[in-house]
Amino acid sequence: MTSACSTGTCAHYQEMVRLQRNLHDGLGPGLAGIMLRADILAELLTANQSAAQEMLRDLRHEAAAFMTEFRRVLADQSPAELEGRGLAGALRALAARMSRATGETLAITTDLGAEHELDREVDRSVQVAVFWIAKEALTNVVKHAKARNCRIGVRVVDGVLQLSIVDDGIGRVGLSRRGIGLTSMGSRAAELGGWCEVTDGAPGAGVAVTAHLPARDPGLGCHAPHPPTER
């Protein structure tokens, strides 16, 4: 291995990291949603035929969307959910889809402000990063948190986009190790001059994912100041 690759700076290594992250962030949530719905479907087959048929239609739609996302990941394109929607619309659609994947046992609310304001104030590259961070955070809530409620908040203050995702689940005990997903959230924010951290939510319960990113092109020198203390 060359010295550049051993330090993670060669183009081949960086492309491998990019592909690993995109496959995880783009395809992992889709697979998790399909598996979760399959489990619920198995229970409904004997208890509620009508609900089972509706869930099966959703499952087929999810599988088709998964294949579309797979092709977009390979082509290194932005998430399909952002096309024609903008960030606020994409996050609302993501919240609704994740809630349906749990059989509506998880209620996800959004506080995103005016939809067109986000699109006007936030550069596209930042929107893409924020969407991926939110998608990974929600996937962790669905898979690990055992939560009943989750809230997504986005606002822009003094040129900094502030994202928060807070649940009322079992806390960070559900995140026993720092895997690709948590690392990916941090690296996506850092690449744009921002930061992302995972902390305890409400006292005694829940997890809070917080990310701050410059709303405008970081190439112009923008950055989001890191929180003064680590928790």
Whether the per-residue pLDDT at 210 is higher than 70: the answer is yes
Spatial separation of the C-alpha atoms in residues 124 and 116, rounded to whole Å: 13
191 Cβ neighbours under 8 A, 6+ residues apart: 129
Sheet holding 107-111, edge to edge: 107-111, 149-157, 160-167, 207-214, 195-200
What is the distance of C-alpha 227 from the center of its chain?
Answer: 21
Which pLDDT belongs to residue 127?
A: 92
Q: What percent of the chain has pLDDT over 70?
A: 62
In sign, the C-alpha dihedral spanning 100, 183, 215, 171 is: positive
Domain boundaries defined on the chain: 3-220
Which pLDDT belongs to residue 143?
A: 84
Per-residue DSSP letter, 218: G
Provide the 10 A C-beta neighbour count for residue 231: 8
Could you read off the pLDDT of 29-67 as tens digits, one per residue?
Answer: 666 666 666 666 666 666 677 777 777 777 777 777 766
Mean of the per-residue pLDDT values of the chain? 77
Spatial separation of the C-alpha atoms in residues 44 and 141, rounded to whole Å: 23
Spatial separation of the C-alpha atoms in residues 17 and 31, rounded to whole Å: 20
Name the architecture of domain 3-220: 2-Layer Sandwich (3.30)
Whether the per-residue pLDDT at 21 is higher than 70: the answer is no
